[in-house]
Amino acid sequence: MIEFRAGNYTFFNHKTCKLYEQRHESHLAKEEMQFSICYDISQQYGFENFHKHPFEEMLCKNFYAGEILNAFFVQTYGLYEGIKVKVFEYKPNPNLIYITTEDKIAFEKHSFCDMTGHYGKDIKITDLEKLWEERSPSEYDLPMPKGLELIKEIDIS
């Protein structure tokens, strides 16, 4: 099964986990910032002291910024009729994916819906010519993991 990712991640104990900033009412110094490191329950990593998320099928644990060794942002992209698009899971229908672009010409040419700020469309994954992830520094001023592939192609055949 293909995972379509968009968000911040970290390598924790040699496993890739989601990284969520805990929001606060006021601005915090970097060392006071807190994060949740989470992973899908089905992955069964067996990390100690992780707790079930109240709304999602994830296990999470809170950490201060100084305890997190690395972070990176991931976005899944695809090539749809020659146009680079962002790709997302479409939860209402597992046979479809949701693609977006900010390209107005693509919107007009390929019947994308105007979603205020971007244009979107539901398609089958087989409609994509290519699928890949792009990894970049996270917004949290934490180092990227050493050796991380910046672009990773995903097999959709």
- Residues 54 and 90 placed together within one structural domain of the fold: no
Q: Which DSSP string corresponds to 31-88? A: GG-EEEEEEEGGG----TT-EE-SSSSEEEEEEEGGG----EEEEEEEEETTEEEEEE
Please check the confidence at residue 94 and state whether its pLDDT lies above 90. no
Average pLDDT, integer, range 84-92: 91
State the pLDDT at residue 106: 81
119 pLDDT band (50/70/90 cuts)? very high
Q: Are 156 and 131 in contact (CB under 8 A)?
A: yes
- Residues 91 and 47 placed together within one structural domain of the fold: no
- Residues 66 and 102 placed together within one structural domain of the fold: no
- Residues 45 and 66 placed together within one structural domain of the fold: yes
Q: What's the pTM?
A: 0.88
| β partners of residue 62 | 36
What whole-number distance in Å separates Cα of residue 132 and Cα of residue 118? 20
Q: Which residue is listed with tokens 């109240």?
A: 54
Establish if 151 belongs to a structural domain.
no
- Residues 50 and 106 placed together within one structural domain of the fold: no
- Domain hosting 79: range is 74-132
- Residues 96 and 57 placed together within one structural domain of the fold: no
Please check the confidence at residue 107 and state whether its pLDDT lies above 90. no
What whole-number distance in Å separates Cα of residue 1 and Cα of residue 40? 14
Q: DSSP letter at 155?
A: -
Average pLDDT, integer, range 54-67: 93
What whole-number distance in Å separates Cα of residue 60 and Cα of residue 51? 5
- Residues 68 and 90 placed together within one structural domain of the fold: no
- Residues 78 and 63 placed together within one structural domain of the fold: no
For strands 151-154 and 130-137, give the pairing. antiparallel
Quick one: CA dihedral 88, 89, 90, 93, positive or negative?
positive
Counting the structural domains of the chain, the total is: 2
152 pLDDT band (50/70/90 cuts)? very high
Please check the confidence at residue 24 and state whether its pLDDT lies above 80. no
| Euclidean distance between the first and the last CA atom of the chain, given in angstroms as a whole number | 12
Establish if 107 belongs to a structural domain.
yes
What whole-number distance in Å separates Cα of residue 69 and Cα of residue 140? 12
